Amino acid sequence: MKYLKVIAFTHKQIELKELGKLVLCQENITEKLHAAKGHFGIDEIFYLSTCNRVEFVLSTQHKVDREFAEAFLTEMQMGLCTHSTQTFLDAASIYEGQEALNHLLRTSCSLESLIVGEKEILAQLRKAYDDCREAGLTADKLRLVMECVVKGAKEVYTHTNISKNPISVVSLAYRKLKDLKLCSNARVLIIGAGETNRNISKYLQKHKFSNFSVFNRTLSKAQQLADDLGGEAFELHELKNFKGGFDAIITCTSAVEPILTTEIYSSLLNGDTGKKTIVDLAIPNDTAPEVLEQFDVNFIEVHSLNEIAKKNLQERYQELVHAEAIIEQNIAEFLVMLKQRKIELAMRQVPEKIKEIRNNAVNTVFADEVQSLDKESREILEKVINYMEKKYISVPMIMAKDILINN
């Protein structure tokens, strides 16, 4: 385990906007990693970059400390000034051996993420490793580490509730909307083309909703979202004149005054008396209180969703104990596997040596005696020798593993 080292820069010590300075350009990332690998004599390396972390995972016998990390960052040519480099080094976390494995397992299970329970980190970690493996930057040692990390993460996500209950307002809003059982051709008005509405639109599109009208102050942004959804785009001021009808409104703007007034809402209904749905994710709300008082509406808004999110987040944190127990078990199993692996590597010449002894015995030492045997006797001798050969190969291997593991 001593070979495993991790240099980590994460959201816990560094502001997210600052972390971006450590992200390597995709165009020459492989070239830089190969250069650093050769310069420092690193056996294996891979690089992980997400929205809240930049990490370098190494397999090396060299001591990895602050001095090494400084030289490493310099070699990676990140374009940092001396002051920035020192700031990042002061905030770096360096892990070694079992502590490094524990860190990678906790990271893959999202225990080290901004949002506990987000599964995306496992996919990001696997892709980072796979990219470096395909580039020839990793080999057997990090392969074994990653097998352990992936296995442990899958067990945590399968056997705990750490990711079961959503905690993002967007996913909660969509679940509420889904519970209302709108048909896939429901007419959906989207007011605002910012990130929140773009994200909830992805959920709707994924579940085959297809009838969209997008309104935004800037028409180009409305058009971009409408193009993604296969819908129509309008400037926000056209909302009061829209006569296309609707079944649901999703709104999230930065307006300080309500967008959906009673006058505009009544105009949008255009005589329709059916119960409609409003998903209002704006703060303050885009929907005037009078709309809810005067019209029959299914209303989904941020405040109630935040309460659910807080409850779900608390439930996720309660699952940490179970997740950490699974991680401990996987580390223990990995240590046993490493011992077995050492035995396999140390004894991989045993089969070849035994075969040499067998061939020497049959073809040289006892060649005359074997040749004097009749066909049936030679066949019996061959069976006996084959049986003995297998036992002489397997028994020492099993005994050696048992001795090493039990001691």
Binding residues are: 50-53, 113, 118-120, 124, 192-197
Residue 404: in which H helix or E strand, if any? helix 375-406
Q: Report the SS3 class of residue 42.
A: coil
Helices (H), 76-168: 82-91, 98-108, 120-134, 140-159
**Which DSSP symbol is given to 79?**
-
Distance CA 240, CA 278 (A): 16
Q: Report the SS3 class of residue 333.
A: helix
To the query of whether residue 183 is one of the catalytic residues in this protein, the response is no
Residues ≥6 apart with Cβ < 8 Å to 228: 198, 201, 205
**Which of 244, 28, 59, 233 lies closest to 140 in space, CA to CA?**
59
Q: What residues form the annotated binding site for substrate?
A: 50-53, 113, 118-120, 124
Task: Count CB-CB contacts under 10 A for residue 225.
Answer: 20
Catalytic residue (one of 25, 51, 109, 132): 51
Instruction: Yes or no: say if 190 and 225 are a contact pair by the CB < 8 Å rule.
Output: yes
φ/ψ (deg, to 5) at 244: -80, -5
Tokens of residue 300, six digits? 């989904």
Distance CA 202, CA 249 (A): 15
Q: What residues form the annotated binding site for NADP(+)?
A: 192-197
Catalytic residues: 51
